[in-house]
Structure formats: structure tokens, C-alpha cells
Structure 1
Amino acid sequence: MLLSFCEATGKTLNLYYSQREAMMKLEISIVLLLCTWTTLGEEFKRAKIAFSATLSASWDSVYFGPHEEATTLVYENVFTNIGNAYDKNTGIFTAPVKGVYFFNYVVFNAGEKPTGVKLLKNGNLVLAALDNAPGQDTEDTTSNSVSLILEQGDQIKLQLLESRRIYTDAWRRNTFSGHLLFTL
């Protein structure tokens, strides 16, 4: 009878220890999950990136170009720059975190010269928006947009194509915008 009691108690103790071990593993898993969640939460808090700017803050009519070489456009009138990833002094957006970003730009031109603007990633052409000289009307608009995977430190800028012109005025129709869709 003592042997039966010991065997039964042993099984009970083994069950107790295996339940205790399972509870400890569960507690450890919960702690790790909370730590990971906190870390991810902090990452998402830091990863708020969005900007939007117009070519000029001037209320006057201003022509840029034509130039013999492609010229970086500096969108100096910043509406939004959450995360400070866009530099209004250079016209360059620098990705602060790895992720998928969306960029859009609108190009307006008035007058008899054609216009064209290209989007570059780290100095390499991604896409362009072109418009011939206005025909029957005197104003033309073109635009383009793209979603790109960027590594931290990658740079995006817009350049006015050589021998092209862009125009801005109080209506501020030339815009450059971008935002982080999600981190990778």
C-alpha cells in the first residue's frame, strides 16, 4: 500500500512539475511577446514618415530652366515633413528606415517650352513625367507616382530634364509628396 501511495504521489509530483514547467514556459513566452510588442510598437512610433511640398513659396510667377543639364528641383515650400526625411534645402528625400514608400509629383508648365521631370533613386532613373509644349491651350500638367522599396539611407530626388522648363506661381501646382507605407 505504501508503494502504491508513493507511485501515485510520484505521478502527482511529476504532473505538478510538468504543469509548473509549462506555466514557466508560458510566462517566459508572454514576457518575450510583450518585449517584442513593445519594441515593434516603438519602431512603428518612430516610422511615421510623410512630406509634401511645392516648388516655390513665392506668390510671383517663376520659371525654372531651361538648363543645359538636368537640374535637381528643390521644393522649398514644405507643407508637411513628419520625420524630417525631406531636406527643403537640397530637394532630397532620405529614407530613415527600410520600407515601402509611395511618391507622387505633379508638374505644371505654362508657355511655349516643353517640360519634363524625372524621379531618381540613388542617382538612377526610376520614372519620368513629360509634357510637350502647350498646343492650343497655354497650360499643361503632367504627373507620375510610384511605390518603391527603400533601404535606410536611400535617396529620392526630382530633376528637371535638360532643355526643359517648369513654371510656378501663386497657385502652387508643382508638388512633390511621399510617405512610408510600411516598414520591412
Structure 2
Amino acid sequence: MCINEKITLLESKAGPTNLSQNKPTHQISFMATASRDIKPIVGGTLIFDQVLTNKGGAYNRNTGIFTAPVSGSYFFVVTVSIPTPSPANGQDYVRIDIMKNGKLSGYLFIGTQGIWIKRSENTLLELSKGDKVNLHVRTTGSGFQRIAGGSYHSHFSGFLIN
């Protein structure tokens, strides 16, 4: 068997090699930021109201909830900034939980210790169509004032991997 026959045989066994055929059929992605500072309520959902992109329409800017339109692997990132507190504010910290259908899937804890802090957390979740992901404010310190908004200080984003 000559080399050309071997190549042809291997190509027929391997199937199509056009990478464009492997593109996902659904393009789901979103990024939302806070247009202004947020005073989060313990036990409430952290809502980012300024939607920069929302392919597939899965993020609801009014509720702060992402609802998976298709089953698959999704990657989420939350970034939160807390401005420098005044010394009179006391304990200045916040914990934000990443929730999948009401169950903890990851969290972000920020304690400022008197300085401006910006932190991020990410998670990879297997979602079924209709599953919901949101950010839940678990706790804040007695002196906690606000999450910084505007200028992309704080944001929530995610996308479908496959």
C-alpha cells in the first residue's frame, strides 16, 4: 500500500476534519455590571442591572438570575469590589454565594481590612435546561456599606462551553 492510499484510508476512518463542524449550535453568554453602588441585603440576590451582552437572553437584569436555555457545561465569573471604609464603620466584609437551583456552588468572601479590595471567583457548572444560577448575599459585617458599582468595578458573567 502506497503512502497516498494510507492517508486516504486514515482520513476515511477519522471522519470529517473541518473544525467549523464542531462549533456549538447554541451561543449563550452574558456579562452584567452594576451601573451604580449596591447596598446588598443579607439573604437577597445580588443584581447587576447594566447588561453589556446577553446572547441567548438567559440573564434577567431585573432578578439577577441566569436560567440555562440548554443543558451543558457553563463557566461563571463574579467580581466584586468594596471601597475603602472609614475607620468608624467597624467590620467591613461580605460573603456572596454562587447558587445553582438554591444550592451552594461556590462563594466569594471579601474582607477589606481598611483598603479597597477587588476579588473574583469562578466556577464551572453542569446545568440542565431550566437550571437557575444567581448570586446570594450570605452575610455582611456590621460596618459594611456598599459594593462598588460603575466603571466595571463589580460584575457577573458566564458562558456555555459545550
What is the TM-score with the length of structure 1 in the denominator? 0.66
Report whether the alignment pairs 1:179 with 2:152. no
After superposition, the CA RMSD in angstroms is 1.9
The aligned residue for residue 163 of structure 1 is: 140
Written as runs of structure 1 = structure 2, the 5 A alignment for 1:65-144 is 65=40, 67=41, 69-110=42-83, 111=85, 112=89, 113-132=92-111, 134-137=112-115, 139-144=116-121
1:136 CA displacement: 4.6
Percent identical among aligned pairs is: 30
Secondary structure, counterpart of 1:104 in structure 2: strand
1:141 CA displacement: 1.6
Structure with greater contact order relative to length (CA < 8 Å, sep ≥ 6): 2
Report whether the alignment pairs 1:152 with 2:129. yes
1:44 CA displacement: 3.8
Verify the 8 A CA contact 2:33 2:152 in the aligned structure 1.
yes
Measure, in 2, the Cα distance between the counterparts of 1:152 and 1:96: 5
Verify the 8 A CA contact 2:96 2:139 in the aligned structure 1.
no
Identify which of 15, 27, 39 aligns with 1:64.
39
In structure 2, runs of 5+ residues without a counterpart are 1-20
Aligned in 2, Cα 1:150/1:63: closer, same or farther, shift over 3 Å? closer
In structure 1, runs of 5+ residues without a counterpart are 1-40
The aligned residue for residue 31 of structure 2 is: 52
Aligned in 2, Cα 1:135/1:162: closer, same or farther, shift over 3 Å? closer
